[in-house]
C-alpha cells in the first residue's frame, strides 16, 4: 500500500515537472517576444515567430492557454503553487509511511536484541554450570596420584569449590548432569580426605622426634599446608576432629615432657636460701644460719638482705637459663632465678603455640587443651616447692616477677596465660604472708635472755630487721602494695618492743642508751641505702636517734661535770633579786671554776675515748661528741654569765677558761671527721 502511494506521488510529480517545463518554454518564448517587442522601437523583427507558434500549436496546455487568453505569468504562478502543494502532500504522505516503517523496524530490533541478550545469559550460565560441574581428567590425576605440594593444594581448592557449589546451588543440585558427576566428586573427596589425613598425621609424628625444634617445624613446614586443615574442616568434620585430637595429644605429651625435663634440670641448680629457722627473732646459735657449714656467708646473708637479687627484675625478659651450661660451670641460683627462667620459657612457648593454633586451626581454644599437661607438670613442681619456701624476699621477688610477666603478655596481646598467672599470684601471696607472720611472731615471742649479748654494738636481730625491712620496702616501690606497708608497720612495732627489752638488760643507763643509739643509727643507715623509700619508718627511727642522742650527751657530761651542770640547772638560772635570803656567792662558785679549769681538757679527751669505744659508726660517734662539747660550752657560758652578775665575781676571772679556748678544742675534734 505504501509502495502504491509512493508510485502515485512520483507520477504526479513527473506530470507536474512536465507541465512546468512547457510553461517555462512558453514563458521563454513570450519573454523573447517581449524583448523583441521592446527592440521593435528601434528595429522590429518578427522573424521565426510563425515557426515557433507552429511548433507549439499541437501542445494541449499551450493551446488551452492560448484559447482562454490567460496571461502567461499568471498561469505560471498558478502552476508553481499547485506544484508546491502536490510536493508538500507527497512529502507528508511519504514521511508518515517512513515513520511507520521505522517503528516496525525498531520493534523488530528490540526483539532481536532481547533474544540475543537472553542467548548470551544462557550461554554464560551454561558455561559456568559446565565449568563448576565438570571434573577435568587432570584434576583427577593430581588428586588421586599427585604428591601433596603447592599444585596439589591449588587443585584441592578447586575441588573444594566444586563440592561446595554442588551443595548450595539449587540449579546444579537438581540437574540431571549432577547424577553423572556426583559419584566422581564424592570419590575424589574421599580420596583427597584420606590422602591429606595421612600426610598431615605424618608431619605431626615428626613433632615427637627427640631434639626437634617444634617452632621451626611449625613455621616452616606445617603452616605451608594449613589449607589442608581448612579442607578437612569443610568437607570431613570427623577426619578434621581426628587431626585436631592427634595434634592436641602430640603437643600435650611433647610439651609436658619438655617442661618436665627442664624443671628437673633446673632443680639441680637451686641454691637454698632459708629454712623455717631462719627468722629475724631467732637466736643465732640455734638458727639454721650457722648449721650450714658448707654454705658461703654471702648466701646466708641473702635471707634478710636483698643485695644483688634485685637484678633479676631488670633481667625479666632475658632468655631462659640453659641448664647444662649453668651446671657445667657449677652455678647455683636462688629459686626466684629458676622461677623466672621457667616462666620465661612458658611465656615464649605459650605465645608461639597460641599463635600457631589460631593461624593453623583457626581455634585459639585448643591452647588450653594442649597446655593442660604442661600446666599440670609445672603445678606439680610448684606445689612441692612453695610449701617448703621460707624465703620471704624470694617470695616477694616471685610476686613481682609474675606481675612483670603479666605486663609482658599484655604487651604481646596474648591472653592465654592470664588465668594461670593469676593462679600463681594468688598462691604466692598467702605463702609470703605466712612467712612474714613467722618473722613477726619470732620478734614478738623472742626470748630476751637467750638473745641478749653483753655488747652495746648493733644487735644481729636489729640488723636482720633493718635489712629485711629495707629489702621489702625497696621491692614495694614498684608494686605499691598497701597491705605490705601495714605489715611492715606491725613488724616495726614488734622490733621496737624487743629492742627496749634488750636494752633494759644492761645494768647501766648509759649502756642502755648507747645500745639503742647504735641500733637506731645502723637501722637508719640500712634504710637510707635503698633510697628515699624509708617513709614513716625511717622518720620514726631518726626521731628515736635524736632523743637518745640528747639523753646520752647529758649522761656523758654528767660523768665529768655533774656539779657544774647541777649548779647551772638549779642556781645559775635564778634571778639574784628573787632570792635575797640565799644569794649566790663567790665561795659557792669558786670550787666549780677551779675544778673545771684544772681538768676540762682531760675530761674532753676521756669523753672522746668513750665515744670512740661506744659507737660502732665513727661518724655517728663524732657527731655525738660534737653535740656533747657544744652542750658543755653552753653550760660553761651560762656559768660565766652567772659569775658576771654576782658581787665580787670578777675575782674569779683569773681561774676562768676563755670561751675561745673551748671553741678551739671543739674545732680540733671536729677536724677528725
pLDDT tens per residue, range 34-75: 444 444 444 555 566 667 666 666 666 666 666 665 555 676
Q: Specify whether the CB–CB gap between 190 and 235 falls below 8 A.
A: no
- 222-236, 253-267, 474-488, 494-508: least confident range: 474-488
| pLDDT higher than 70, residue 98 | yes
Q: Report the 10 Å Cβ neighbour count for 98.
A: 11
| pLDDT higher than 80, residue 333 | yes
State mean pLDDT over 232-241: 92
Residues 114-171 pLDDT 10s: 877 776 665 555 445 555 556 788 888 888 888 989 999 998 888 888 787 766 555 5
Residue 9's pLDDT is what? 41
What grid cell was written down for 131? 565449568
Q: Specify whether the CB–CB gap between 23 and 76 falls below 8 A.
A: yes
- CA-CA distances (angstroms) from residue 658 to 512, 640, 654? 35, 10, 10
Tell me, rounded to whole angstroms, the distance of Cα 55 from its chain centroid. 121
Residue 580's pLDDT is what? 58
State mean pLDDT over 70-88: 73
- 105-109, 195-199, 485-489, 615-619: least confident range: 105-109
Residue 135's pLDDT is what? 74
State mean pLDDT over 185-206: 89
| pLDDT higher than 50, residue 12 | no
What is the pTM for the complete model shown? 0.74
d(CA 367, CA 609): 73
Which pLDDT band holds residue 588 (cuts at 50, 70, 90)? confident
Tell me, rounded to whole angstroms, the distance of Cα 317 from its chain centroid. 14
d(CA 621, CA 529): 20
d(CA 122, CA 175): 15
Q: Report the 10 Å Cβ neighbour count for 355.
A: 18
What grid cell was written down for 404? 612483670
d(CA 619, CA 624): 9
d(CA 572, CA 547): 25
- CA-CA distances (angstroms) from residue 11 to 7, 75, 89, 516, 623? 6, 22, 13, 148, 147
Percent of the chain with pLDDT over 90: 49
Residues 18-33 pLDDT 10s: 544 554 454 454 444 4
Region of 192 on the Ramachandran plot (φ > 0 left; ψ -120 to 50 alpha; else beta): alpha
SS3 call for 74: helix
Tell me, rounded to whole angstroms, the distance of Cα 351 from its chain centroid. 14
d(CA 669, CA 625): 8
Amino acid at each position: 500500500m505504501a509502495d502504491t502511494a509512493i508510485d502515485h506521488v512520483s507520477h504526479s510529480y513527473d506530470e507536474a515537472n512536465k507541465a512546468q517545463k512547457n510553461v517555462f518554454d512558453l514563458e521563454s518564448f513570450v519573454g523573447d517576444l517581449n524583448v523583441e517587442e521592446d527592440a521593435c522601437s528601434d528595429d522590429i523583427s518578427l522573424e521565426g515567430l510563425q515557426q515557433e507558434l507552429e511548433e507549439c500549436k499541437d501542445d494541449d496546455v499551450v493551446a488551452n492557454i492560448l484559447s482562454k487568453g490567460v496571461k502567461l505569468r499568471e498561469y505560471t504562478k498558478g502552476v508553481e503553487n499547485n506544484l508546491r502543494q502536490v510536493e508538500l502532500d507527497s512529502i507528508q504522505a511519504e514521511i508518515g509511511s517512513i515513520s511507520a516503517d521505522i517503528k516496525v523496524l525498531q520493534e523488530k530490533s528490540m526483539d532481536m536484541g532481547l533474544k540475543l541478550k537472553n542467548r548470551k545469559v544462557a550461554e554464560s550460565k551454561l558455561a559456568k554450570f559446565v565449568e563448576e560441574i565438570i571434573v577435568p581428567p587432570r584434576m583427577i590425576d593430581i588428586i588421586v596420584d599427585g604428591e601433596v605440594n603447592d599444585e596439589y593444594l591449588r587443585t584441592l581448592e578447586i575441588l573444594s569449590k566444586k563440592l561446595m557449589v554442588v551443595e548450595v546451588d539449587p540449579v546444579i543440585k537438581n540437574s540431571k548432569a549432577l547424577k553423572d558427576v556426583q559419584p566422581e566428586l564424592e570419590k575424589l573427596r574421599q580420596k583427597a580426605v584420606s590422602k591429606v589425613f595421612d600426610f598431615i598425621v605424618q608431619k605431626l609424628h615428626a613433632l615427637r622426634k627427640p631434639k626437634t625444634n617444634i617452632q621451626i617445624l611449625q613455621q616452616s613446614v606445617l603452616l605451608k599446608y594449613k589449607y589442608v586443615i581448612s579442607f578437612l574442616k569443610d568437607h570431613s568434620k570427623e577426619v578434621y576432629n581426628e587431626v585436631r585430637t592427634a595434634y592436641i595429644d602430640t603437643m600435650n605429651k611433647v610439651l609436658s615432657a619438655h617442661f618436665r625435663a627442664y624443671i628437673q634440670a633446673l632443680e639441680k641448680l637451686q641454691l637454698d636460701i632459708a629454712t623455717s629457722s631462719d627468722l629475724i627473732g631467732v637466736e643465732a646459735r640455734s638458727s639454721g644460719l650457722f648449721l650450714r657449714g658448707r654454705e658461703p656467708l654471702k648466701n646466708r646473708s641473702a635471707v634478710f638482705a636483698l643485695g644483688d637479687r634485685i637484678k633479676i627484675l631488670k633481667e625479666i625478659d632475658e632468655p631462659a637459663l640453659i641448664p647444662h651450661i649453668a651446671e657445667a660451670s657449677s652455678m647455683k641460683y636462688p629459686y626466684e632465678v629458676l622461677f623466672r627462667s621457667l616462666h620465661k620459657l612458658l611465656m615464649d612457648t605459650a605465645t608461639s603455640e597460641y599463635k600457631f593454633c589460631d593461624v593453623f586451626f583457626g581455634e585459639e581454644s585448643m591452647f588450653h587443651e594442649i597446655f593442660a599437661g604442661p600446666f599440670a607438670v609445672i603445678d606439680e613442681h610448684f606445689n612441692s616447692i612453695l610449701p617448703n619456701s621460707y624465703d620471704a624476699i624470694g617470695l616477694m621477688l616471685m610476686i613481682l616477677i609474675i606481675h612483670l610477666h603479666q605486663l609482658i603478655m599484655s604487651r604481646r596481646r596474648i591472653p592465654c596465660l592470664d588465668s594461670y598467672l593469676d593462679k600463681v599470684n594468688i598462691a604466692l601471696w598467702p605463702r609470703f604472708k605466712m612467712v612474714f607472720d613467722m618473722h613477726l611472731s619470732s620478734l614478738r615471742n623472742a626470748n630476751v635472755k637467750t638473745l641478749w649479748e653483753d655488747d652495746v654494738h648493733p644487735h644481729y636481730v636489729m640488723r636482720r630487721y633493718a635489712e629485711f625491712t629495707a629489702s621489702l620496702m625497696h621491692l614495694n616501690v614498684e608494686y605499691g602494695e598497701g597491705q605490705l606497708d601495714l605489715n611492715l608497720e606491725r613488724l616495726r612495732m614488734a622490733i621496737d618492743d624487743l629492742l627496749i627489752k634488750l636494752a633494759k638488760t644492761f645494768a647501766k643507763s648509759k649502756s642502755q642508751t648507747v645500745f639503742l643509739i647504735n641500733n637506731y643509727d645502723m637501722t637508719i643507715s640500712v634504710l637510707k641505702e635503698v633510697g628515699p623509700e624509708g617513709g614513716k619508718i625511717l622518720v620514726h627511727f631518726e626521731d628515736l636517734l635524736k632523743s637518745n642522742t640528747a639523753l646520752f650527751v647529758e649522761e656523758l657530761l654528767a660523768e665529768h661535770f655533774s656539779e657544774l651542770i647541777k649548779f647551772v640547772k638549779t642556781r645559775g638560772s635564778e634571778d639574784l633579786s628573787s632570792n635575797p635570803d640565799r644569794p649566790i656567792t663567790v665561795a659557792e662558785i669558786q670550787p666549780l671554776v677551779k675544778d673545771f679549769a684544772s681538768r676540762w681538757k682531760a675530761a674532753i679527751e676521756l669523753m672522746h675515748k668513750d665515744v670512740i669505744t661506744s659507737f660502732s659508726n665513727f661518724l655517728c660517734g663524732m657527731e655525738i661528741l660534737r653535740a656533747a662539747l657544744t652542750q658543755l660550752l653552753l653550760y660553761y657560758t651560762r656559768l660565766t654569765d652567772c659569775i658576771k652578775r654576782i658581787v665580787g665575781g670578777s675575782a674569779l676571772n683569773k681561774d676562768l677558761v676563755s670561751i675561745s679556748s673551748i671553741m678551739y678544742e671543739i674545732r680540733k675534734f671536729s677536724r677528725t671527721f
